[in-house]
Amino acid sequence: MKSTVEEIRERFDNDIERFSDLQAGQSTTIDSPLCLDLISQAAMEATPGARSLLDIGCGAGNYTLKLLQRFEDADATLIDLSRPMLSRAEQRVGQATAGRVTTLQADIREAELGGVRYDVVVAASVLHHLRNDGEWSAVCAKVFASLRPGGSFWIFDLVSHDEPAVQSMMMRRYGEHLTAQRDEAYRDEVFDYIEKGDTPVPVMTMMDHLRSAGFVGVEILHKHNCFAALGAVVPGGPKSGNRNAPNRGFE
């Protein structure tokens, strides 16, 4: 049995400090600071002039803070299961932008995003909690519907591999990384959480779901071991690669 939403919320309620370091990123991931920078720069290049940001599973707000270095004084909407995480993120983000900061305590599977309103959406280390293809399809469709033409969606997350031998190798190497960070007990703690709480999918499966939802320009920004950063764009914008797509009501 995988962890329930309530169990995941309780864990993050008690783990705020680990998610509050913009320089180190989330310590259990690989290349977190690099991917933080890659995603913020890719968002700026793909969606110049973005004024409205959405951070799904925002944690303590690191990704929004990094985006605000590129999109000065943009509005930011923060979604997270954990109220303490949201409070920390709201405090940090509110100090970094003159724009409007909105928080929503919710599971993205249940959250109402409203109509077309965002320019950039990010989801970092959160979509591995989706449990099946149906949830992936629904979330990608929901995000697509919330983005303006030319808007972009960026993901950083744990991924799995289709070939069992490769999956075993990657997890073994990840275990070596965790042991080097601290010790074998730390490795075992992280692996136990992954077994109970996470349902990662291959990066190609993520890309398929993005394309099925209607995104174009689906790109892998970085993959190292069992972590990947990727993103995609909504058709209709000047840089989407599909200038003949419907403008969905926007000029």
3-state secondary structure of 117: coil
162-208 pLDDT, tens per residue? 999 999 999 999 999 999 989 999 999 999 989 998 999 999 999 99
Lowest mean pLDDT among 56-65, 90-99, 204-213, 235-244: 235-244
Structure tokens at 250: 């926007």
Structure tokens at 159: 């991924």
DSSP state of 202: B
In this prediction, residue 130 has a pLDDT band, given cuts at 50, 70 and 90, of very high
Please give the sequence-ordered ranges of beta strands (E in DSSP) within 172-236, or none if there are none: 216-224, 227-233
Quick check: 245 pLDDT over 50? no
Give rounded-to-5 percent helix, strand, coil for the chain.
45, 20, 35
* Mean pLDDT over the full length of the chain: 89
Under 8 Å CB-to-CB from 110, ≥6 apart: which residues?
Answer: none
Domain contains 239: no
As to burial, measured by CB atoms within 10 angstroms (0-12 exposed, 13-18 middle, 19+ buried), residue 134 is exposed
Quick check: 246 pLDDT over 50? no
pLDDT of residue 239: 61
Total domain count, the chain: 1
Quick check: 238 pLDDT over 90? no
Q: What percent of the chain lies above the pLDDT cut of 90? A: 76
CA distances from 135 to 55, 97, 139 (A): 18, 33, 6
100-119 pLDDT, tens per residue? 999 999 999 999 998 889 99
Task: Measure the CA–CA gap between 152 and 232, rounded to whole angstroms.
Answer: 6
Question: Which residue type is seen at 209?
Answer: H
pLDDT of residue 137: 98
In this prediction, residue 124 has a pLDDT band, given cuts at 50, 70 and 90, of very high
Domain contains 45: yes
4-49 pLDDT, tens per residue? 877 776 766 656 555 545 454 466 889 999 999 999 999 999 999 9
The residue ranking higher by pLDDT, 131 or 237, is 131
In this prediction, residue 134 has a pLDDT band, given cuts at 50, 70 and 90, of very high
Task: Measure the CA–CA gap between 70 and 138, rounded to whole angstroms.
Answer: 29
In the predicted model, what is the mean pLDDT of residues 136-147? 97
Decide if 109 contacts 141 (C-beta within 8 A). Answer: no
Quick check: 248 pLDDT over 60? no
Task: Measure the CA–CA gap between 128 and 218, rounded to whole angstroms.
Answer: 19
pLDDT of residue 249: 38
DSSP state of 4: P
Q: Which domain holds residue 173?
A: 5-233
Domain contains 238: no
Lowest mean pLDDT among 142-151, 158-167, 182-191, 237-246: 237-246
Domain contains 245: no
In the predicted model, what is the mean pLDDT of residues 76-103? 95
Residue with tokens 């992954």: 194
The CATH number linked to 53 is 3.40.50.150
Q: Model's pTM, two decimal places?
A: 0.88
Residue with tokens 């764009």: 233
Domain contains 65: yes
Domain contains 243: no
Residue with tokens 């490769």: 166
Under 8 Å CB-to-CB from 238, ≥6 apart: which residues?
Answer: 150
Please give the sequence-ordered ranges of beta strands (E in DSSP) within the chain, or none if there are none: 52-56, 75-80, 101-105, 118-124, 147-158, 216-224, 227-233
Domain contains 91: yes
